Chain A
Amino acid sequence: MLPDFTPVMGAELFESKGMLMAVITVSGIVIVFTILILLIFIFYAYGAIFSAVTTSREKKKAQKAAVAAKAADAQPDGSAAGPETVQLNGETTSEIPGEIIAVIAAAVASLGDGKVYRVRKVTRTPVSGRTPWATAGLLENTRPF
């Protein structure tokens, strides 16, 4: 025989307004905080586990990359150096895909001020902190109301 777990609740059960207010306020605040604090602990533990897994994966990747870089450096022609700049005279190869260069050239050509432009060089600039795309996204999301 299971015990009776029927909840005994309902505003009419409280003897006075003061009692009702005290019970609802205290129990409400306690329950809301308890559940959300419980979620904090769960997600801290959960985040820590995932961070540990991710860090170990990244370490392994970094080790592999370091080994590959060493092997590339050992090649006499130095072809794996990975140029950051592409000269658009057809002589230099680049990690920057041709489609990206075409998009950049199209954007420059679309300036539309009557002059003829030629893209001679595309250089990858090291960015510290937030990337221009992230900055653009932030500005988009934080425009004044």
Chain B
Amino acid sequence: MEILSSIWDSIVSILNESGLLFLFADGGWKNAIMIAVACFLLYLAIGKQFEPLLLLPIAFGMLLVNLPLSGVMDVPTTELVPKAQADATEIAKYSQLVMPDGNTYVEVAHQGGLLYYLYLGVKLGIYPPLIFLGIGAMSDFGPLLANPKSFILGAAAQIGIFFTFCGAILLGFPAKVAGAIAIIGGADGPTAIYVTSKLAAEYLGPIAVAAYSYMALVPIIQPPIMRLLTTKKERAVVMQQLRTVSKTEKIMFPIIVTVVVALLLPSAAPLVGMLMLGNLMRESGVVKRISDAAQNELMNIITIFLGITVGATARAEVFLTKETLLIIFLGLAAFCLGTAFGVIFGKLMYIFTGGKVNPLIGSAGVSAVPMAARVSQKVGQESNPSNYLLMHALGPNVAGVIGSAVAAGVLLAVLK
């Protein structure tokens, strides 16, 4: 009988120290909801393959951080233990402090959670520029160089950011938070994370989740707007083949863009600079090993760290608020406005060039490389199956990456 009692006590003790009871304690239901949300996102990533490279680690980070008592995002702390109560190891290991009351305390340090340390890369703005390095190494700016007019579409699609900023202010968000929400319209995950970490780090979870969710939903969100704003005749326009761009042009491009953007808008230099460094490594052809590392190993490692730590910022008490719902709504508005302005400017180019530009390529100006360009291609082929818009849409698409980095620079310069 005594044995049974001991076993029962052990089980109760383990249960009391587990996170299971916490789920049923006061406020624990919020964690349960977040676990369900994380599982839903995992389903989208695995089952539906929506941006799985990012959504999967984000969702798993969200799952980990909302499991009660997991401590994965715990901040490191220092506890003052009276010397009399400290054990010999602590006294030997940690420094001692004599307080004004005359007592000596040992400064016992408690380590933070694993993800807290990985999160420093987000907090200090290190991961997003490194992701940009990889994107630059993977991007071919040839279509943009062959048709520099595409820059206009990359700029037009950023207008949504600024209108969304106004919307967020009118809904009562402080200016810095409004800026961080508005950048979702850039449809560029690393940019959104970079700006948010600088302006409103406490909203990183909802903003990153909204940004990546909408990027994953580009094939669903954009086509209705594109069809609504264009006629079948416009959508069927076949564009002329692009000119061949020489290697020297491609090598000069990242250097010129870096100098121009960093001189005019220094706050955009980290993002644009790393994007262009990656591209220079690719186009120069002399550092193939480094270029390959940036495109593959580095990009993959940073993607894991970025994804899981961003997901880990989505703690129940931060995520399950009215603000999150507003952020998700405003993010959608920003995305739709960006797409709409891109298509509207595409229509203007259609008119001014006498019908030589297919307005559908304008929607690719929202970044989301290369998904947005593929959407332009797909919608274009609905009207004309023999039409190949992909290369034409890649111009505004990569211009959108530069445009969103510039827009981020503007927000940081004015609001920080």
The answer on a CB contact under 8 Å between B162 and A29 is yes
The answer on a CB contact under 8 Å between A11 and B175 is yes
The answer on a CB contact under 8 Å between B152 and A25 is no
Which of B4-12, B62-70, B79-87, B399-407 is the interface stretch? B399-407
The answer on a CB contact under 8 Å between A40 and B149 is yes
Interface centre among B148, B154, B219, B381 (most CB of A within 10 A): B148
The answer on a CB contact under 8 Å between B158 and A35 is no
Nearest CB of chain A from residue B144's CB, rounded to whole Å: 8
Given contacts A25-B165, A32-B410, contact A43 B253 (CB under 8 A): yes
The answer on a CB contact under 8 Å between A40 and B148 is yes
Minimum CB distance partner of A54 in chain B: B246
Interface centre among B149, B243, B249 (most CB of A within 10 A): B249
The answer on a CB contact under 8 Å between A40 and B219 is no
The answer on a CB contact under 8 Å between A32 and B155 is yes
Residues from chain A with Cβ under 8 Å of B249 in the complex: 46-47, 50
The answer on a CB contact under 8 Å between B414 and A37 is no
Residues from chain B with Cβ under 8 Å of A25 in the complex: 162-163, 165-166
The answer on a CB contact under 8 Å between B161 and A28 is yes
Nearest CB of chain B from residue A117's CB, rounded to whole Å: 33
B221 interface contact, C-beta 8 A: no
The answer on a CB contact under 8 Å between B378 and A144 is yes
Q: Mark B56-93, 1 if CB is under 8 A from A, else 0.
A: 00000000000000000000000000000000000000
Q: How far is the CA of A23 from the CA of B413 in the complex (A)?
A: 13
Q: How far is the CA of A28 from the CA of B381 in the complex (A)?
A: 35
Given contacts A35-B261, A43-B253, A145-B374, contact A24 B162 (CB under 8 A): yes
The answer on a CB contact under 8 Å between B155 and A37 is yes
Q: How far is the CA of A119 from the CA of B172 in the complex (A)?
A: 76
The answer on a CB contact under 8 Å between A9 and B149 is no
The answer on a CB contact under 8 Å between B165 and A40 is no
A68 interface contact, C-beta 8 A: no
Query: Would you list which residues of chain B between 209 and 252 have a CB under 8 Å from chain A?
Result: 219, 243, 245-246, 248-249, 252
A51 interface contact, C-beta 8 A: yes
Q: How far is the CA of A46 from the CA of B148 in the complex (A)?
A: 10
Query: Would you list which residues of chain A between 24 and 38 have a CB under 8 Å from chain B?
Result: 24-25, 27-29, 31-38
Q: Mark A54-81, 1 if CB is under 8 A from B, else 0.
A: 1000000000000000000000000000
* A contact residues, range: 35 or more
Q: How far is the CA of A11 from the CA of B177 in the complex (A)?
A: 11
Pick the residue among A7, A10, A24, A145 that contacts B378 (CB under 8 A).
A145
Judged by DSSP, the binding face of A is helix
Interface centre among A14, A28, A38 (most CB of B within 10 A): A28
Given contacts A40-B152, A54-B246, A142-B374, contact A29 B415 (CB under 8 A): no
Query: Would you list which residues of chain B between 116 and 173 have a CB under 8 Å from chain A?
Result: 144-146, 148-149, 151-152, 154-155, 158-159, 161-163, 165-166, 169-170
B397 interface contact, C-beta 8 A: no
Residues from chain B with Cβ under 8 Å of A34 in the complex: 264
Minimum CB distance partner of B199 in chain A: A11
Q: How far is the CA of A28 from the CA of B166 in the complex (A)?
A: 12
A88 interface contact, C-beta 8 A: no
Residues from chain A with Cβ under 8 Å of B112 in the complex: none
Residues from chain A with Cβ under 8 Å of B174 in the complex: 11
Judged by DSSP, the binding face of B is helix
The answer on a CB contact under 8 Å between A44 and B148 is yes
Given contacts A40-B152, A46-B252, contact A35 B264 (CB under 8 A): yes
Residues from chain B with Cβ under 8 Å of A28 in the complex: 158, 161-162, 165, 407, 410-411, 414
A106 interface contact, C-beta 8 A: no
Q: How far is the CA of A39 from the CA of B105 in the complex (A)?
A: 62
Pick the residue among A7, A40, A47, A145 that contacts B413 (CB under 8 A).
A7
Q: Mark B244-279, 1 if CB is under 8 A from A, else 0.
A: 011011001100110011001100000000000000
The answer on a CB contact under 8 Å between A32 and B403 is yes
A104 interface contact, C-beta 8 A: no
A residues with a Cβ closer than 8 A to B are: 7, 9-11, 14, 17, 20-21, 23-25, 27-29, 31-40, 42-44, 46-47, 50-51, 54, 138, 141-142, 144-145
B residues with a Cβ closer than 8 A to A are: 144-146, 148-149, 151-152, 154-155, 158-159, 161-163, 165-166, 169-170, 174-176, 179, 219, 243, 245-246, 248-249, 252-253, 256-257, 260-261, 264-265, 374, 377-378, 381, 388, 390, 399, 402-403, 406-407, 410-411, 413-416
Q: List 28 A–B pairs whose Cβ atoms lie within 8 Å, in order of A's numbering.
A: A9-B414, A17-B170, A23-B414, A24-B162, A24-B166, A24-B175, A24-B411, A24-B414, A25-B163, A27-B414, A28-B158, A28-B165, A28-B407, A28-B414, A32-B155, A36-B155, A37-B151, A37-B155, A38-B260, A39-B148, A39-B256, A40-B148, A43-B256, A46-B252, A47-B245, A47-B249, A54-B246, A142-B390
Given contacts A25-B162, A145-B374, 17 further A-B contacts (CB under 8 A): A11-B175, A11-B414, A17-B169, A23-B414, A27-B410, A28-B165, A29-B158, A36-B154, A36-B403, A43-B148, A43-B256, A44-B148, A46-B256, A47-B145, A47-B243, A142-B377, A145-B219
